[in-house]
Amino acid sequence: MPLMTRYLAYVDRISEEVGKAISWLCLAMILVLIYEVSARYLFNSPTSWAHESTTMLYGSFCIIAGAYTHRHHGHVRSEVIYNLFPTRGKALLDVLTGMLGLLVFGVFFWITANYAWDSWLMREISSKSTWGPPVYPFKAMLPLAIALMMLQSLAHLLRDLAVLFDLQPHHPHIYSAESSTDNASS
Amino acid sequence: MLDLDPLMVTVGMFASMLLLLAMGAPLTWALLTVGTGSAYFMWGPNGLELMATSAFAAMDNFLLVALPMFIFMGLMLQRSGITDDLFDMIHKLMGGMPGGLGMGTVIICALIAAMAGVSGAATVSLGIIALPSMLSRGYDKRLCTGTIMAGGALGFLIPPSVLMIVYAFLARESVGKLFAAGLVPGLMLAGIYMCYIYIRAKMNPQLAPAIAVEERVDVFGKIGALKALILPGLLIGTVLGFIIMGITSPSEASAVGAAGSIVCAALYRTLNLKMLREALQGTAKLMGMLLWITIAAVFFSKIYIGLGAGSLITELVQDSSLSPYMVIIAMLACYFVLGMFLDDFAIVFITVPLFVPIVQELGFDTVWFAVLFILSMQSAYLTPPFGYNLFYMRSVAPPSVTIYDLYWAAIPFVFLQILGLALVVAYPQIALWLPNLIFG
């Protein structure tokens, strides 16, 4: 049990810190686009790189943020029927869907890791603009984000199993998965 | 490879997805699981390559950059104190007439809707600022909570709207056109709400009394109060002007708006590291959810269409003897029912790839249908017992307001929204006039 508690605390930390760190990319996107708009209209010299680099920042920001959202239970779900079940019934449903989800993420990880690896091996260059940056680091964000998502999913699954089998927590932290869905602005 | 009937594929895929959703699985999980399973059984391991390409296509898309920008802008403005300033203005300008604060609240909602892309922003911030103020002046609690909840839902329709950007992405529609199409119906609905409050206040002044004489200000005070409109006016004019006039791409305009919201917060002297962090982290939480649904939904619909089932529903509609308008009404009824169980983003991702081809097939304008869709999502946000705005209001309202008060508060406004929806169905020009004027 202490091992599991440590795992849970550790994974929550990772998702939290990575999510907080990655959120600053949003500010970087704003800066790049403001630079582009002012370069184009005020100085009449549009850049070749602004749109593509913002797209890369956007893609990396959002995909990595998935695990952070998951840690805060922010992925949209319908709880109309789910809420009719008692606590342990809910835990059983969560264990079933959680295991299925981990399996699918495993497949997803494998496919995207190959996809990114192929791109990396041939040093793939973007052909979308004259700028032509390397694409493989951007593609590598996919397996990385999925790996983070799997760690967080496993943490949720362990918590649900603890509820389902009524394990006495050695540490109250096991149950402290913040259930507040604080996306109060969606 | 198995050869299956399109009808079986459709029923199988949607039934298993709904089953997973009913079990409480997040939508992303449900779509990914069913998509992966179907692809594997139909095409074997090679079919799964689509996962990587769908995921990368959703990440590598410049149009969607506007989503985090507008969400960030809304979260910043919500914390910036702009609502306090606007409410102070309304208080001076309109407080002296019966129902004035209520009508003014609708105006603030429309202004916030024109600055923020998300719907919760106005409901939460006005629930904190306008609600206590109206209650303390003897307003009926059902009338004022209903006003704020309905006004908050205008955020969907009045551009910029995050939901419209997602719709534009899925239906390959122009964001500028959709934004232009939402503006007039949004203002019309705001007008309808204001008329309703005015009539209620006229019939029974006890419901929405004017503020006390000693609280009122003279003409000069009123003119001075108008300066609260300067910053919001500049922000709205720049962002919407850039998009609708086509000066910059929507994504660039959204970045200008996001930067503008930081400047606004600085001018209102509310900008600090803590609020900036909160807004950035709130954006990360929402975008982590939105991009993952996008990936899952793009993957799901690629599999669905790849299995040859995409044309099934279109054919079913063609074979049925329903008149085109009946089909549209059936779709809207479908939205109404789905709105009771799912949230707006879930509905847009599931239904747009299915419904928009039918709308085109029937010869209707897809921009017009987009406005109808947004209007029905707005009603879904307000309809008891699962409307999201009811929960937002519940989370900020004082304890004297019960959830049953909120149910009763919402009902008249739901009827007003249905009236607005009926008007746009009957007179498509309400939505299409502005985009046709600008885009020819």
pLDDT tens-place string over residues B74-108: 889 888 888 888 998 998 999 888 899 999 999 99
Confidence of residue B388 (pLDDT cuts 50, 70, 90): confident
| For residue B115, pLDDT beyond 60 | yes
**pLDDT tens, position by position, B245-275:** 888 999 999 999 999 999 999 999 999 999 9
Q: What is the pLDDT of residue B201?
A: 92
Q: What is the pLDDT of residue B101?
A: 92
Contact assignment for A26 to B284 by CB distance below 8 Å: yes
Confidence of residue B412 (pLDDT cuts 50, 70, 90): very high
Least confident of A18-32, B69-83, B119-133, B353-367: B119-133
Q: What is the pLDDT of residue B1?
A: 47
- Using CB atoms, pick whichever of A61, A115, A182 lies closest to residue B68: A61
Contact assignment for A33 to B65 by CB distance below 8 Å: yes
Confidence of residue B48 (pLDDT cuts 50, 70, 90): confident
In Å, how far from its chain's centre is CA A67? 3
Q: What are residue B346's phi and psi, to 5 degrees?
A: -60, -45
The pLDDT mean for chain B works out to 88
Question: pTM to 2 decimals?
Answer: 0.89
Least confident of A54-58, A152-156, B6-10, B399-403: B6-10
Closest approach of B118 to chain A, Cα-based (Å): 6
Higher pLDDT, A111 or B120: A111
Q: Identify which of B79, B339, B293 has the alpha carbon closest to the alpha carbon of residue A69.
A: B293
Which residues from chain B sit within 8 angstroms of residue A142, using beta carbons? 52, 55-56, 59
CA A126, A128, A133, A138 torsion: positive or negative? negative
Q: What is the pLDDT of residue B210?
A: 86
Q: Find the residue in A nearest to B163 (Cα).
A: A186
A49 close to B (CB below 8 A): no
Q: What are residue A134's phi and psi, to 5 degrees?
A: -65, 140
**pLDDT tens, position by position, B156-189:** 899 899 899 999 999 989 999 999 999 999 999 9
**E strands, B10-65, in order:** none
ipTM computed for the complex: 0.89
**pLDDT tens, position by position, A123-132:** 988 887 888 8
Confidence of residue B55 (pLDDT cuts 50, 70, 90): very high
Q: Tell me how far apart the alpha carbons of residues A120 and A118 are, in angstroms, rounded to a whole number.
A: 5
A27 close to B (CB below 8 A): yes
Confidence of residue A177 (pLDDT cuts 50, 70, 90): very low
Q: What is the pLDDT of residue A148?
A: 96
Q: Tell me how far apart the alpha carbons of residues A92 and A99 are, in angstroms, rounded to a whole number.
A: 11
CB pairs under 8 A between A and B: 226
Q: Tell me how far apart the alpha carbons of residues A137 and A124 are, in angstroms, rounded to a whole number.
A: 10
- Using CB atoms, pick whichever of A108, A111, A185 lies closest to residue B74: A185
A90 close to B (CB below 8 A): yes
> How close are the terminal C-alpha atoms of chain B, in Å?
48
Residues A29, A55 contacting (CB under 8 angstroms): no
Q: What is the pLDDT of residue A183?
A: 37
Q: Identify which of B435, B431, B392, B414 has the alpha carbon closest to the alpha carbon of residue B186.
A: B431
- Of all residues in chain A, the percent with pLDDT exceeding 70 is 89
Contact assignment for A68 to B52 by CB distance below 8 Å: no
Contact assignment for A26 to B72 by CB distance below 8 Å: yes
Confidence of residue B303 (pLDDT cuts 50, 70, 90): confident
